[in-house]
């Protein structure tokens, strides 16, 4: 191969290296998303198993401080105690089940036999039905089953809670317990199960277990971009080689 004939090939080396580097990055991102997909599917399976398992006893108070949300979130538990007669309504713009308009989650302390307390989300009450009758807990000792929940995070659009008006916008058991003067409250709350009576208020079973899982789509996007980059580079390189191989394409212009 002559020097002039090899010139187009030499001109492709640097672009080819850039294209290979770009494809390597895109393929790596696709593989990373596949790993994320496996992690997310395992997490969803674990949570589904927790939520639908038979209720287990609530962890004892001595273990509460060391509990981590990833170890207890959505664990199905049973706890026995007496409800406090005070409630903390947490505003919701819509029914968690989508069947009603705005309303409130009714969070009520359950006082355990040892004197400690757990904030229980007893369920949803539509705004049109709010009132003392809807918030009143059952009297006497009760056994509640439900899902353990970590404190609800806030975002930029979450209004500030108004403890003085007993108006809340997040499920924050620590803040609610402090406002109610409960010194031995759990750092988590419990979402009560659905009672089975759709007319009963508050309506339990408000937990929505839904996790976005778009990692497969993201992986296919990255792999598709890698293939597209390879195709674009291949077409460009082929055009450059054909232009360089054309008779006289590399010859300098002649003066007659």
pLDDT value for 112: 96
Q: How far is CA 47 from CA 42, 118, 247, in A?
A: 9, 21, 68
Residue showing tokens 């508050």: 202
The yes-or-no verdict on residue 141 having pLDDT over 90 is: yes
pLDDT value for 218: 92
**pLDDT-derived band at 97, boundaries 50, 70, 90:** low
The yes-or-no verdict on residue 204 having pLDDT over 60 is: yes
pLDDT value for 202: 87
The yes-or-no verdict on residue 246 having pLDDT over 70 is: no
**pLDDT-derived band at 241, boundaries 50, 70, 90:** confident
Cα separation of 241 and 97, whole Å? Answer: 62
Task: Considering only residues 60 and 130, tell me which one the structure prediction assigns the higher pLDDT.
Answer: 60
The yes-or-no verdict on residue 65 having pLDDT over 80 is: yes
| Residue extents of the structural domains in the chain | 3-44+213-245, 75-192
pLDDT value for 8: 64
The yes-or-no verdict on residue 126 having pLDDT over 90 is: no
pLDDT value for 230: 92
- Average pLDDT value for residue range 217-222: 93
Task: Please tell me the least confidently modeled range out of 30-34, 57-61, 188-192, 200-204.
Answer: 200-204
């Amino acid at each position: 191969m002559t020097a002039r004939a090899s010139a187009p090939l030499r001109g492709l080396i640097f672009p080819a290296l850039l294209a290979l580097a770009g494809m390597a990055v895109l393929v790596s991102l696709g593989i990373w998303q596949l790993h994320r997909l496996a992690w997310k599917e395992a997490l969803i399976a674990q949570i589904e198993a927790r939520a639908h398992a038979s209720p287990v006893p609530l962890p004892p108070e001595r273990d509460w401080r060391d509990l981590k949300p990833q170890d207890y979130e959505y664990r199905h538990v049973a706890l026995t105690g007496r409800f406090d007669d005070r409630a903390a309504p947490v505003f919701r713009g819509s029914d968690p089940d989508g069947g009603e308009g705005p309303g409130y989650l009714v969070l009520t302390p359950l006082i355990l036999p040892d004197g400690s307390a757990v904030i229980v989300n007893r369920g949803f009450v539509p705004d049109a039905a709010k009132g003392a009758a809807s918030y009143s807990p059952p009297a006497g000792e009760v056994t509640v089953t439900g899902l353990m929940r970590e404190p609800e995070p806030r975002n930029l659009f979450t209004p500030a809670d108004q403890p003085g008006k007993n108006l809340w916008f997040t499920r924050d058991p620590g803040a609610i317990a402090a406002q109610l003067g409960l010194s031995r409250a759990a750092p988590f709350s419990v979402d009560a199960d659905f009672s089975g009576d759709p007319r009963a208020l508050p309506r339990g079973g408000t937990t929505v277990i839904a996790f976005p899982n778009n990692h497969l789509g993201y992986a296919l996007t990255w792999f598709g971009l890698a293939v597209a980059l390879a195709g674009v580079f291949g077409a460009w390189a082929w055009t450059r080689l054909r232009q360089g191989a054309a008779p006289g394409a590399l010859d300098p212009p002649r003066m007659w």
